[in-house]
Chain A
Amino acid sequence: MNAGWIVLIGLATGVYALKAVGPLLLGNRPLPKIVNAAASLLPAALLSALVMVNTFAGGKHLQVDARVFGLVAAAIALQRKANFIVVIVAAAIATAVARWAGGVL
């Protein structure tokens, strides 16, 4: 058995355990009020962190690159109440154009 299979089995087990703890242990059981309150706010914090990390992180350092233009385009589209697909496509085009322009200049 090579390292690939060992890592695969180890991670499949470990990651699944992390995923399932919430639904299996907390599910079907009323949660304390404070946990509910925190859980209703947690997505805002997690999602905004996902936005930031996927825009500004390059490995372990921060960088500003063409992805920022994509994010700005997405924000403008959202401000104008564009639907989800338009937002995504606008972000791709802005990122691609900014990168192309950066490469040309």
Chain B
Amino acid sequence: MVDENADQPAPSDAEAHQAAAAARCPTAADETQRRTTRRQAISIGVAVSPFGVAFGVTCAKAGLTWLQAAGFSSLVFTGGTQFAAVGVLAEHGAAAAAITAGLLLAIRSLAYGVVMAPALQGRWWKRALWSHVMIDEAMAVGTAHDDLVLRRYGYLWAGGSVFVLWNLATVAGAVLGNASEVWISRLGVDGTIPASFLALVWNRLQDPVQRWVAAGGAAISIVAVPIAPAGMPIILAGLAVGISPFIGRRGRLPTTTSR
């Protein structure tokens, strides 16, 4: 993982208070948050890896080699997109159709990029490298923090953790084969995915404006699932941000005590 804090000297005991006041230096509270963040990043990587195995199996069934399966997981590295594209190939669909289906599911990466951009500052090649892990989980763990340094820390840890585990799982699935789907369902692994996103949005729900936007996003996505192409419900949900100017006054009234 990239840790950009190497250039910040650790504060001695005498300087600790001053440094804390000056912010940005690692403090005890900071380290606790980092530990929590690393734990989240690794858990979420573990939670998605059964789906990596399933992806490997799907590739094998679609007639792709294990090398191609590994190529999808390392170079495309966007779960939903990978499943959609290989699903089309499995039904002997055209390459153009598979690419279109995959890209539709990846459009939300554009929105994630806008959200994450302020936290991903640095030389262009670093930004280029970091962008590769612009996935649901990395955005989710990163944006749990408002502080930009912690935001990048969470993003890179979650992105890195999922990248490593997802790729190992894919190769395992492509080589070993079949039973994974049964076990995903039997062990309730599919139930952990929404749970992890809920955990990561949870603190935001304490704020009334954020809560209204979250409710709006949830409502839009539910309405959009049956009518919009796969992948679009997530990005359409972003439109819920547009309701924020209207809830400033009304939204705060009954709930300010919860802050």
Point out residues on A near B: beta carbons under 8 Å.
3-8, 10-12, 14-16, 18-24, 26-28, 31, 35-57, 59-62, 66-67, 69-71, 73-75, 78, 83-85, 87-88, 90-100
- Report the bound CA distance from A100 to B234 in whole Å: 30
In the complex, how many residue pairs between chain A and chain B have their CB atoms under 8 Å apart? 300
From A14, A27, A52, contact of B106 by CB (8 A): A14
Point out residues on B near A: beta carbons under 8 Å.
36, 39-40, 43, 47, 62-65, 68, 71-72, 75-78, 81, 85, 89, 94-95, 98-99, 102-103, 106-118, 120-122, 124, 127-128, 130-132, 134, 136, 139-140, 143, 146, 185-202, 204-205, 209-211, 213-218, 220-222, 225-226, 230, 233-234, 236-241, 244
Residues of B within 8 A of A67 (CB): 190-191, 194
Q: Are B130 and A93 in contact (CB under 8 A)?
A: no
If A10-B99, A61-B225, A61-B226 touch, whether A19 touches B108 (CB-CB below 8 Å) is no
List 19 additional A-B contacts (Cβ < 8 Å) besides A15-B81, A52-B233, A54-B190: A3-B98, A10-B95, A27-B120, A43-B204, A46-B115, A48-B221, A49-B233, A51-B201, A53-B221, A71-B191, A83-B36, A83-B39, A85-B43, A87-B198, A87-B199, A91-B191, A91-B194, A92-B187, A99-B185
- Report the bound CA distance from A9 to B88 in whole Å: 16
Q: Are A21 and B225 in contact (CB under 8 A)?
A: no
- Report the bound CA distance from A51 to B201 in whole Å: 9
Q: Are B113 and A51 in contact (CB under 8 A)?
A: no
If A54-B194, A67-B194 touch, whether A14 touches B85 (CB-CB below 8 Å) is no
Q: Are A19 and B64 in contact (CB under 8 A)?
A: no
* 26 pairs from A and B in contact (CB 8 Å cutoff): A8-B68, A8-B76, A12-B75, A14-B103, A18-B134, A19-B113, A23-B117, A27-B121, A41-B244, A43-B140, A43-B143, A44-B204, A44-B217, A47-B140, A48-B201, A48-B214, A51-B198, A51-B218, A61-B225, A62-B222, A70-B194, A84-B199, A88-B199, A91-B188, A91-B194, A96-B188
Q: Are A44 and B213 in contact (CB under 8 A)?
A: yes
Q: Are A60 and B225 in contact (CB under 8 A)?
A: yes
- Report the bound CA distance from A11 to B71 in whole Å: 11
Q: Are B115 and A60 in contact (CB under 8 A)?
A: no
